[in-house]
A and B are shown apart, each in its own frame.
Chain A
Amino acid sequence: MLELRLVQGSLLKKVLESVKDLVTDANFDCSATGFSLQAMDSSHVALVALLLRSEGFEHYRCDRNLSMGMNLNNMSKMLKCAGNDDIITIKADDGSDTVTFMFESPTQDKIADFEMKLMDIDSEHLGIPEAEYHAIVRMPSAEFARICKDLSSIGDTVVISVTKEGVKFSTRGDIGTANIVCRQNTSVDKPEESTIIEMNEPVSLTFALRYMNSFTKATPLANSVTISLSSELPVVVEYKIAEMGYIRFYLAPKIED
């Protein structure tokens, strides 16, 4: 038996909107730790890892570890029927081939339940090692989204370079080139508006903008985004989900032929 009650149901709606275009089908894993997902896109270029910790739910009952295969597009269709202020409860019985999403309006005057068919998904779980990154950039998530959107109108790839000068996002295309440099800026009053660059050593990597733009669909989840870069690893683009966990996107770099 599984019963997870999330008072801030809009978080789950936002999570789905941020992953449904990247991943078609995925297993949601439920354990004492929380509600999680790890999935790759169909071409194995990007990986998404989501964790919503059990403590973040108002009520969290998960009698035994359960993996529920869901079509994310269908799940999104159902969650779109929940109001932004609704409380969402996810329910499943042991051995059942369905999951139920219950939506309660804040005033309890409307209660809806949507039952969705589960699916069997053969998914490969990957081990993501703890790593030291050459550079970690934290910046406003809206600023990062704007940069990715702007650069994708010029080129298909972005070179992200971190030096002591700052972080530079560059692209080139048929019509020309573009460079955007963001410098460390901690003087602003609000910490979520600051740009913080931790650099152990300079790093420069090239990524497909199509994926970066897809990751920025998670922007409504967090004011800040953290970009961790290492020349030996996929980049990690992380959005913290307030008091609950995170959504992390890993993207393999372009490699010189």
Chain B
Amino acid sequence: DSKQGNILSFFKKV
């Protein structure tokens, strides 16, 4: 099974 990744775990807020 797979779960959906999240953009915020790759790109940080600036």
* Chain A interface residues (CB < 8 Å from chain B): 40, 43-47, 124-129, 157, 206, 208, 233-234, 250, 252-257
Contact = CB atoms under 8 A, between A and B. Distances in A.
Interface of B: 1-14
B7 A250 contact: yes
Contacts of A252: 4-7, 9-10
Contacts of A126: 7-8, 11-14
Contacts of A233: 10
A124 B5 contact: no
A43 B8 CA distance: 10
Contacts of B2: 157, 206, 254-257
Nearest to A129: B11
Nearest to A131: B10
Nearest to A255: B5
Contacts of B12: 126-127
A256 B5 CA distance: 10
Contacts, number: 58
Nearest to B10: A234
A255 B4 CA distance: 6
6 contacts: A125-B13, A127-B11, A233-B10, A234-B10, A252-B4, A252-B7
A47 B4 contact: no
Contacts of B6: 44-45, 252
B8 to A, nearest CB: 5
Contacts of A257: 1-3
Contacts of B1: 256-257
Contact of A45 (B5, B11, B13, B14): B5
A253 B7 CA distance: 9
Given A124-B13, A127-B14, A254 B4 contact: yes
B7 A45 contact: yes
Contacts of B7: 40, 44-47, 126, 234, 250, 252
A125 B6 CA distance: 15
Nearest to B13: A124
Nearest to A124: B13
A254 B5 CA distance: 5
